[in-house]
Amino acid sequence: MNHSWIEISRSRLKQNVQALCSSIPAPTEVMFVVKANAYSHGLVPVAKTAAEEGVKWFAVAFLDEALRLRAELPDVNILVLGLVLPEHVGELLAKRILPVVTSLEHGRSLAEVARAAGRTLPVHLKVDTGMGRMGVQWDEVAATVQALNKAGGLEWAGVCSHFARVDPDQPDHAAAQAQKFNEALKSLPATAFKHISSSRAALYFPEWDLNGIRQGIVLYGYGANDPKGRFQTRPILQWKSRVVQVKAVPADFAVGYYGTYRTEYPTQIATLAVGYADGYNRALSNRGDVLIGGRRCAVAGRVSMNWVTVDVGPDAVVNVGDEAVLIGEQGEEAIWADELAKICRTIPYEILTSINASLERRYTL
């Protein structure tokens, strides 16, 4: 019996894809961001499910993710958002994987290998319009493209940028980035596949759809529950564990390291087989809830490496082997990653991607 596991709803993922696709104009493609093991949901099963719903574009961070994806999905378009080194140009060409060009020097190094092989490498140009990470500065795009065109060896298959801030109530920052991107586009072929919209941008700003919208967190079910947005989605991941012990304890009973939780009255403490080694954030100590028997039960004491202790109350009927929900639904109650993120002062992305990759992923219909 597994101590802790993840359940992914394929049907809910398909519903999320349908909700998104039905809200955007037909010519605009969805580019599903499946980096970091599909935000901990499982790279290949998630991508395959989305492909069944007609998604033709996928984005990853690193080449090894792209190669895993290509082995399972031979016909989709795959873009590597991070830097790919020139020694991998042969693999890019052989596997039809698209890299981004992040600088003039990077472009030259890729082009040199491609020319030596007598080939032309399709690439997307990454433009920095205000994120401040990788990419050619937007006002240096014209000179960069001119220099690389002169050298030869590259085909401008696409061009992209990345919003640093999207706020529907204060859109000026994103609008300024979009304007810089539009200026950069003047130096690229009209046929280049253009994409800048993030999940949040796609939700509120259809004018930035262009040829494709890069969608991550909303397809996993977060950040798209605002009725003012173009679409709504629901979380597809649940995280569950088991009760391994139930102990009746008196009032003023210390629980966990350094006794940071003391019972106010006689109650029962249940121990769950999960801990921070599995990715359950230690900041949830004495602050988080889990679901047992369809009820919220408070995390009691500090989260430890392999165990979480929970105050289930004096009268609850809880047995060894009972299911406990850390993220997900049980009965009429639900706890989702955004709730845990608020407690931990972080974002749902970190809560999800922190879940240990070794935990079993079960894919339900």
The amino acid sitting at 50 is: A
The count of other CB atoms within 10 Å of the CB of residue 48 is 16
Angle of CA points 51, 56, 61, to nearest 5°: 95
Structural Rg of the chain based on CA atoms: 24
**Tokens of residue 225, six digits:** 């529950």
List 186, 247, 257, 265, catalytic entry: 257
Nearest by Cα to 300 from 352, 346, 264: 264
Interatomic CA distance for residues 116 and 94, integer angstroms:
15
For strands 4-9 and 360-364, give the pairing. parallel
Phi, psi angles (nearest 5°) of residue 280? -80, 115
User: Quick check: is 35 catalytic?
Assistant: yes
Q: Is 280 helix (H, G, I), strand (E, B) or coil?
A: coil
Maximum CA extent, the chain: 80
List 35, 180, 194, 240, catalytic entry: 35
Active site residues: 35, 257
